A = this chain, B = another copy of it.
Amino acid sequence: MTERKPRKDAVRNRSAVLAAADTLFHDYDSSKGVTMADVAAAAGVGKATIFRAFGDRAGLIRALCEVRLEVTMDAITAGPPPLGPGARPQQRIPAVLDALLCFKLDNRHLALALEEAADLGPYRAENYDRWHDLLQLMLEQIPGMTHSDFTAHALLAVTRADLVDHLAGNERVSPEQMRTQLADFTARVLHPYPL
């Protein structure tokens, strides 16, 4: 019973910050980093308000990502195959990785910021663990699969935001090409091991 009614200015400001940050990350695509002061200014709010609402920079970015990932996560946890449960791992794993890749392609700066935010790579984010555990569970259902834990890490490493950004930006790889290449690579990893 320690529930308190939140003040309406607080909620209003919270969503204003969220909206402003989303815009900044999305189309203020500049190579310059988005600073907390930027977000505060764009939201018409003091800096402290952001930190009060989200804890720290990582918290804000995490919150943004959760919004952006909501539909994808729903599709994975409760949607139809091949993304949703029910599909065989050989179909579902590529589908999940493709969804993750698409997210990073569609939200390059945001994903980049997320993976830089947690102080030691993306591996502190509780978000990462969700993906890893999901992948690992599916990998374990594949006959002949070894080291499912490591393999899950490895597959996720291939979709790291900075790699995606490098390929898309510097090497001019189109989204479609990247999705195909990731799918082929994944297939290579998943296909039965002819030992």
Interface residues of A (CB under 8 A from B): 112, 120-123, 146-147, 149-151, 153-154, 157-158, 160, 162-163, 165-167, 170-171, 173, 178, 180-182, 184-185, 188-189, 191-194
CB-defined A-B contacts under 8 Å, sample of 29: A112-B120, A120-B165, A121-B160, A121-B165, A121-B166, A123-B162, A123-B166, A123-B170, A146-B184, A147-B184, A147-B185, A150-B173, A150-B178, A150-B181, A150-B182, A151-B185, A153-B158, A153-B163, A153-B167, A154-B157, A154-B185, A157-B157, A160-B160, A185-B189, A188-B188, A188-B189, A188-B193, A191-B193, A192-B194
- In whole Å, how far is A50's beta carbon from the nearest beta carbon of chain B? 24
13 further interface pairs, Cβ-Cβ under 8 Å (given A121-B166, A150-B181, A154-B158) = A112-B120, A121-B160, A121-B165, A122-B162, A123-B163, A147-B184, A149-B171, A150-B185, A153-B167, A160-B160, A188-B189, A189-B189, A191-B193
Contacts of A173 on B, CB cut-off 8 Å?
150
Residues in B neighbouring A153, C-beta threshold 8 A: 158, 163, 167
Quick one: closest B residue to A187, CB to CB? B193
Contact assessment for A120 and B193 in the assembled complex, using a CB-CB cutoff below 8 Å: no
Contacts of A160 in B (CB 8 A): 121, 157, 160
Taking CB atoms, residues of chain B closer than 8 Å to A149 are 171
